[in-house]
Amino acid sequence: MKNGRILVTGGAGFIGNSLVEFLLKQDNHVTVFDNFSVVNNLEGLNSKNLQVVKGDLRSLSDLNALPTNFDCVFHLAADPEVRLTLTNPQSIFENNILATFNLLEWLRNTSIEPVVFTSTSAVYGDATILPTPESYPCTPISLYGASKIACESLLSAYCNQYEKKGVVIRLANIVGPKSAHGIIFDMIKKLKADSKRLEILGDGKQNKSYLHVEDCILGMIHAAEKTSTNFEVYNMGSDTQISVNEIVDIILQESGNLKVEKIFTGGVDGGRGWLGDIKIMLLDTSKIKATGWTAKYDSYSSIKNTVQNMQK
């Protein structure tokens, strides 16, 4: 993917910013469409090939102001906070489902394709088959997961009915130095506030797969280039898991704070961090691997690399 014209929704976010930086290095012309309501990681990123448009996917008039000469769309714009669904489900509906519907409506009368959509492992809910393949039934236990599977369904229908090409990437937990939410960010923030006591949500036995953002970006672009059918779904993550206990230990080791008192909340519903939290997760990535992609980092090295960079 070089010398193309690419639209990135949510390009100011954690994954979006990393994607934009990589695409610019490949001599692409990149347009970022973002409402900047969560974070702005684009500050300091200057390129003659970068155009930043402040707009909201909930507004069709904002979308209609965009040009229609793009070669590809990476749709990353979403409300990323899983726990928010407990207190503000309206935000999840508007920023995930409605936003995706509006984008697809705008794309319907254009020749732009493919559309690459970042989904989540949360669509599977409490999977009983590990590693979990793409064919596993989607029974989400959080509104966040439900919103993502709703977006997937919309994309599938639009691509088949209007002859577009769509690619869904069901991501494991993505980590990297610019992450502004998630366990690493939360733990480091708590340690800065109190270096003697560290509250940890759940029982510490939550065991999940993590993927470094560098592997994520390369995988998304790879999937966009390799997909030739109307609609494909790929799992993307590392082939290993790491527990919350192990993540906390890495953070404490890297910070040099091994005497801190760890306070586990005990969690809810069998040790989950919160209602809707998936306690055990590991994705079957054999489908995307068969196309030639593989992760450079496993879960442990993804976490350690991220912690080291965030400590700096």
Give the tokens for residue 201.
């949500």
Return the pLDDT at 206. Answer: 97
pLDDT level of residue 312 (50, 70, 90 thresholds): confident
CB-based contact 302:236 (threshold 8 Å)? no
Q: What is the predicted pLDDT for the residue at 266?
A: 87
Note the pLDDT of residue 86: 66
Q: What is the pLDDT of residue 84?
A: 59
- Tell me the pLDDT of the chain averaged across its residues: 94
Q: What is the pLDDT of residue 181?
A: 84
Q: Please, are residues 118 and 169 in contact by the beta-carbon 8 Å criterion?
A: yes
Q: Measured between alpha carbons, how far is 161 from 164 in angstroms, rounded to an integer?
A: 8
Pairing mode, strands 210-212 and 261-264: unpaired
- Environment class of residue 281 by beta-carbon count within 10 Å: exposed (0-12), middle (13-18) or buried (19+)? buried
What CATH class has 176-208+240-281+296-311?
alpha beta
User: What share of the chain in percent tops pLDDT 70?
Assistant: 98
Res 148: pLDDT: 97
Q: In CATH, what class is 5-174+212-236?
A: alpha beta
Residue found under tokens 């704070």: 257
Q: Length of the chain in residues, anyone? A: 312
- Indicate the burial class of 23 (C-beta count within 10 angstroms; 0-12, 13-18, 19 or more): buried
Q: What is the dihedral sign for C-alpha 220, 149, 230, 29?
A: negative
- pLDDT tens across 225-275, in order? 999 999 999 999 999 999 999 999 999 999 998 899 999 998 888 999 988
The 10 Å Cβ neighbour count of residue 151 is 25
Q: Left if phi > 0, otherwise alpha if psi is -120 to 50, otherwise beta: which for 100?
A: alpha
Q: How confident is the model at residue 26 (pLDDT cuts 50, 70, 90)?
A: very high
Which residue did the predictor score with more confidence, 83 or 286?
286
Task: Report pLDDT for 180.
Answer: 84
| pLDDT score, position 207 | 98
Q: Taking 90 as the threshold, does the pLDDT of residue 152 lie above it?
A: yes
CB 237 within 8 Å of CB 285: yes
Residue with tokens 């065991």: 207
Residue linked to tokens 């707009």: 55
Quick one: CA dihedral 303, 305, 308, 311, positive or negative? negative
Look at 163-172, 177-186, 209-218, 292-301 and tell me which has the smallest mean pLDDT: 177-186
Each residue's pLDDT tens digit, 40-87:
878 878 899 999 999 999 999 999 999 999 999 999 999 877 665 567
Domain residue spans of the chain: 5-174+212-236, 176-208+240-281+296-311
- pLDDT at residue number 113: 94
Decide: 263 and 72 in contact? Cβ < 8 Å. no
Residue 276 has pLDDT above 70, yes or no: yes
What does the pLDDT read at residue 42?
Answer: 85
Q: What pLDDT digit, counting tens, does each position of 291-310 carry?
A: 999 999 999 999 999 999 99
